[in-house]
Structures are given as structure tokens and as C-alpha cells.
Chains A and B, each alone.
Chain A
Amino acid sequence: MKKLVNLKAPKGFAGLLGLLPFVALLILYLMASDARLEANPSDKLLPAFSIMQDSMHRMALEPSKRNGEYLFLNDTVSSLKRLTTGVVIAAFIGLLLGISTGALPVVSTMLSPLLTVISLIPCLALLPILFIVLGLGEVSKIALIAIGITPFIARDIQRRALEIPQEQIIKAQTLGANSAQIILHVYLPQLMPKLINAVRLSLGTGWLFLIAAEAIASTDGLGYRIFLVRRYLSMDVIIPYVAWITLLAFVIDFGLRKLSRRLFPWEIAE
């Protein structure tokens, strides 16, 4: 018998082994749900899958009685719009800040302290300010997401820019490059995959801000919905919604990773 630290899952079983905890959790839920429903058929805490299915059927496939919209689709589209707008803005500003502080020492001396301080602000505490200044509409929610993750992306890109070997920067200069060309042809292309990576890492935080903003002031969105139906203890809606958000997060992350691989084939070896 090998020592535990050297023991690896046998080939072919690795996927199965990873699936095991999921199955275990599922069985646990089913058992607990059954037990509760047996004691009280109208229990709302751990709804059976059939009830969730009914609820989601109502949310997704039947137009809402109030305004005739398909709520599930609507919520998803609104939330994704806010999230992507916020994240794209953050990525753009973060890239600009990161590249300029990473490549230009003077800019770094000027902006780095500010960036450090801003990144320490707990962003949710800014939400009231945003609501007051920008109103309760879309802008404040997008702003929260953008403000929340820009400092992270900027600092990550800055660090990555500083990691680019100084040799390459010197080399570019010996080939006659000026500052703009160095940024455009040496820094920028090498930082693009890092940017995608930074976005992937900050998406979790992005979702957090999105749901928080939607919970507080919104009329649609995934976060709005789960906080709305919470009042009726509608676990049969909340649980599928949470699962859906998780799936969306997974798909976006997976898509970004694939995109990065495809666009930057030279990145793999490092």
C-alpha cells in the first residue's frame, strides 16, 4: 500500500470520483426533502424536484399574469446585461490603468497609492452613495459592479505587466521601438490573456455585487427575483434560480478559458 500522499485516483475513475460528492449531496437532499414532506406535505423548506419543476415551468414557459412577460428569461437577460456591461467597463478601465502603471514608472508613482486605497474600500458600502448620486436605475447597478472589480483587475494587470521580463522591454528598445510601440506590441498582447484571466477571477465578485444591487433596488433580474420570492418562502423558485446562476457562472468561466486558449496559443507553454 502506497503512502496516502502518493496515492492517486486510478485512471478513468478520476471523473467518477469527482462526481461522487455531487451525487452524495443530491441523495442527501432527496432524503431530507422526502422526510420533511412526509411529515408535512405543504412544507416549503426543502421542496421536491417535481414542485421545483412546476414552479420553473411557470416562471420560464408561461407568460406572467401581471405583464405577460416571461419572467425567467427576462430576469436572466437583465442580469446578464448588467453583469457584462459592468465587467466589460471594469476590464477596459482596469487594463488601461494596469498597463499604464505597469509600463510607465511615472504613472505608477502617481497612481499606485490611489489604486491601493481604492481597492481597500468595501464597495457595498458605496452602494447608497451610488443610489443617491446615480439614481435607482441601471447605471448605479452597473457602476457598482464596475467600481467593485476595476481595482482588482487594474492591480492584477499591473503586476502581470511588471512580470514581463525586463529583457524584452530592453530588446524592443534596441530594435528602435518608442514607448507607444512597446506598450502596443510588447505589453498589450502579452497582457490580453492575463486580462481574460483577471476577468474570470473577478466574475464571482461581479455576481455578488450584481445580486446585492438587484436585491436592494430593482424591478427585475435574477437577484431581484430570489429576494422577492423569499417573502413567500418560495424555495421552489430560489433553489433553481441559484442553480441557474451557478450554471451561468460556470459556462461564462468555461467560455472565457476556451476563448483565451484559442486566441493566445503561445500562452500555454508558460
Chain B
Amino acid sequence: MIVANNIWKSFGDHSVLERISVSVSEGEFVTLVGASGCGKTTFLRMLLGVESLTRGSLTLDGQTIPSEPDSDRGIVFQQYSVFSHMTVMENVSAAFGFRKPGISGLLFGEDKRKAHEQSLQMLERVGLADSIKKYPHELSGGMRQRLAIAQALLAKPRILLLDEPFGALDPGIRSDMHKLVLELWEEHQLTVFMVTHDLKEGFYLGTRLWVFDKVRHDPHAPEAYGATITYDLPTSTTGQTEAEFQKLFLQKTY
């Protein structure tokens, strides 16, 4: 479904990514891990269509990925993902209005009732049905992220991009979120890309784990070479255990 062919990315002299060639098929859950500043988020932004490629190609079903975001690809950021001026209900049903052509994006009558109903269903699914009248600033971090996920899913994306969505959450809440994301991934038959700092999280959630790292170093010009995908592990099928890999990973990067 998604094919990256020899992607390079640099900002001026600063190389971020190099030689990235991968292909991902429908329904995979890919987790992207690596040290900070190694280009995982840049890659995610390429998938989103807000970052250009310096070289190479990135295609979705054989077509070059559109160079602006659209409703095929949903996104949840670490923060600012929800609209602070809308209530929980308005946030979630926003997708229905936005999907309507025209400039107003307002819903009336039957449409409005349907949007409300489906939104409520989704909010019940993520456990926010009690807070539909609240504004995001009145929610906890975990609730806000659940809201962001619900909001993204109602636009019915094929691909869901998650940019460190649980990075700012407490460990307990995090594991609840993991469960939720896995369930939703199956229910909605999504292809998921998730950037994370947490290797364990990457192993637990993904069906496939990518490690971004630099393979070439120039000590005099640390920015001369970009990172590439050094490991591409099908987490559920190989015999390579997580612990073993973790040891390797820790030696290398940290």
C-alpha cells in the first residue's frame, strides 16, 4: 500500500534521513523508534504530506502521496490535537461538518442528528460520553488524547498517524490507551504509523518495528549524514526476543 523508495531528506546542509526504502501493506501497525532528532517525526510528516522529500519517492497505492493533508490520513499529535474552542462533542462531530462540501461546514436537521448520534457512539467507545459538554482544558491529558483519537477516527481515515501520542501521559493511563488503540486498530482495520520514544511500547503495540539511526558518522560534521532505518523487525513473527534486542539497542544508541 505504501512504498518508500530511496528517500533522502535534508534541511540545507543538515541531513535528516537517507536511503529509506520500505514498503508497508494494508493493516500493519508500524512503530517508529529511535533517538530524538533522528527523523522519525520527519518521516511521519512526509506520510502526512506536510514535509517534502529531497530525493526519492513515497507512494500510496502507486500514487505519489498528496503534498497536503487530507482525510485519508488521520493524525494524533502529542498535544494541540483537539480544538480548544470546541466542546468534546463539537470536537468529535467536527469531522462531519468538515466533510461537507461548501464554505460553511454547518450541519442541519437530519445530518446534524446523525452526526450527533455517531459522535456519541464513538465517545462512548473511548469512554468520554460523560464529558460531552466539557472543553479540552477541563479534561485530563489522557482524556484529551482519547478525544483526539476519536476525532481522528470519525473522519474514517485509512491510515492513522500517531506522533508520540502518549508521551506526556502517566504509565497507568498509558497502558489503558495502548489497549484502546489496539482495539480500535482492529475494529477500523487501520494502517497505523506510530512514533514513540518508548521501545517497549513500540514492541508491544506494533506488528512491525522500525529503528531509525545514523549508520554513517563524521565526527567533524555531525550533521552531514542522516538517519536511516537500521532495523525493520516484524515484532510478532521473529524469534528475536524483545529483551535481546533491547540490549543491542541500548548499547548502540544510548
Task: Using CB atoms and an 8 Å cutoff, list the residues of chain A in contact with chain B.
Answer: 165, 167-168, 170-178, 180-181, 184-186, 189-190, 264-270
Given contacts A167-B77, A170-B48, A265-B135, contact A177 B105 (CB under 8 A): yes
Q: Kindly provide the distance from the CB of B194 to the nearest chain A CB, expressed in whole angstroms.
A: 15
Task: Name the residue on A nearest B73 (C-beta).
Answer: A174
Given contacts A174-B70, A175-B71, A265-B135, contact A168 B105 (CB under 8 A): no
Question: Are A264 and B73 touching (Cβ within 8 A)?
Answer: no
Judge if B74 is at the interface, Cβ distance under 8 Å: yes
Question: Are B70 and A269 touching (Cβ within 8 A)?
Answer: no
What is the CA–CA distance of A180 and B104 in the complex, to the nearest angstrom?
7
What is the CA–CA distance of A172 and B82 in the complex, to the nearest angstrom?
9
Q: Which of A168, A181, A268, A269 interacts with B80 by CB under 8 Å?
A: A168
Question: Are A186 and B83 touching (Cβ within 8 A)?
Answer: yes
What is the CA–CA distance of A51 and B1 in the complex, to the nearest angstrom?
88
Judge if B98 is at the interface, Cβ distance under 8 Å: yes
Judge if B137 is at the interface, Cβ distance under 8 Å: yes
Question: Are B77 and A185 touching (Cβ within 8 A)?
Answer: no
- With A167-B81, A175-B98, A176-B99 given, name 5 new contacts (CB 8 A): A171-B83, A176-B71, A181-B98, A269-B137, A270-B84
Given contacts A175-B151, A177-B98, A269-B137, contact A170 B75 (CB under 8 A): yes
What is the CA–CA distance of A265 and B134 in the complex, to the nearest angstrom?
11
Judge if B220 is at the interface, Cβ distance under 8 Å: no
Number of A-B pairs whose CB atoms are under 8 Å? 96
What is the CA–CA distance of A189 and B106 in the complex, to the nearest angstrom?
14
Judge if B27 is at the interface, Cβ distance under 8 Å: no
Judge if B20 is at the interface, Cβ distance under 8 Å: no
Q: Which residues of A contact B105 (CB under 8 A)?
A: 177, 180-181, 184-185
Interface class of chain A by DSSP? helix
Given contacts A175-B71, A176-B155, contact A264 B95 (CB under 8 A): no
Q: Kindly provide the distance from the CB of B160 to the nearest chain A CB, expressed in whole angstroms.
A: 10
What is the CA–CA distance of A105 and B98 in the complex, to the nearest angstrom?
21
What is the CA–CA distance of A9 and B102 in the complex, to the nearest angstrom?
57
Given contacts A174-B152, A175-B99, contact A266 B71 (CB under 8 A): no
What is the CA–CA distance of A7 and B170 in the complex, to the nearest angstrom?
37
Task: Using CB atoms and an 8 Å cutoff, list the residues of chain B in contact with chain A.
Answer: 48, 50, 68-71, 73-75, 77, 79-86, 94-95, 97-99, 101-105, 135-138, 148, 151-152, 154-155, 157
Question: Are A168 and B83 touching (Cβ within 8 A)?
Answer: yes
Task: Name the residue on B nearest A177 (C-beta).
Answer: B98
Q: Kindly provide the distance from the CB of A123 to the nearest chain B CB, expressed in whole angstroms.
A: 33
Task: Name the residue on A nearest B134 (C-beta).
Answer: A266
What is the CA–CA distance of A150 and B138 in the complex, to the nearest angstrom?
35
Q: Which residues of A contact B102 (CB under 8 A)?
A: 180
Task: Name the residue on B nearest A269 (C-beta).
Answer: B137
Question: Are B103 and A171 touching (Cβ within 8 A)?
Answer: no
Question: Are A189 and B85 touching (Cβ within 8 A)?
Answer: yes
Q: Which residues of A contact B74 (CB under 8 A)?
A: 174-175
Given contacts A170-B48, A170-B69, A176-B71, contact A190 B77 (CB under 8 A): no
Given contacts A170-B48, A181-B103, A265-B135, contact A176 B83 (CB under 8 A): no
Question: Are B71 and A174 touching (Cβ within 8 A)?
Answer: yes
Question: Are A175 and B94 touching (Cβ within 8 A)?
Answer: yes
What is the CA–CA distance of A256 and B21 in the complex, to the nearest angstrom?
57
Question: Are B103 and A266 touching (Cβ within 8 A)?
Answer: no
Residue pairs across A and B with Cβ atoms less than 8 A apart, 24 shown, are A167-B77, A167-B80, A168-B83, A170-B48, A170-B50, A171-B81, A171-B151, A171-B152, A172-B98, A174-B71, A174-B73, A174-B152, A174-B157, A175-B152, A176-B71, A176-B98, A176-B99, A180-B102, A180-B105, A184-B104, A185-B105, A265-B135, A266-B85, A268-B137
Task: Name the residue on B nearest A167 (C-beta).
Answer: B80
Task: Rank and list the top 6 A-B pairs by shortest CB-CB distance, nearest first.
Answer: A269-B137, A180-B103, A165-B80, A177-B98, A173-B69, A176-B71
What is the CA–CA distance of A178 and B68 in the complex, to the nearest angstrom?
11
Q: Which residues of A contact B97 (CB under 8 A)?
A: 181, 185
Question: Are B68 and A173 touching (Cβ within 8 A)?
Answer: yes
Q: Kindly provide the distance from the CB of B73 to the nearest chain A CB, expressed in whole angstroms.
A: 6
Question: Are B70 and A173 touching (Cβ within 8 A)?
Answer: yes
What is the CA–CA distance of A26 and B81 in the complex, to the nearest angstrom?
54
Q: Which of B85, B95, B101 interacts with A175 by CB under 8 Å?
A: B95
Task: Name the residue on A nearest B45 (C-beta).
Answer: A170
What is the CA–CA distance of A168 and B79 in the complex, to the nearest angstrom?
10
Question: Are B103 and A167 touching (Cβ within 8 A)?
Answer: no
What is the CA–CA distance of A185 and B135 in the complex, to the nearest angstrom?
16
Question: Are A270 and B137 touching (Cβ within 8 A)?
Answer: yes
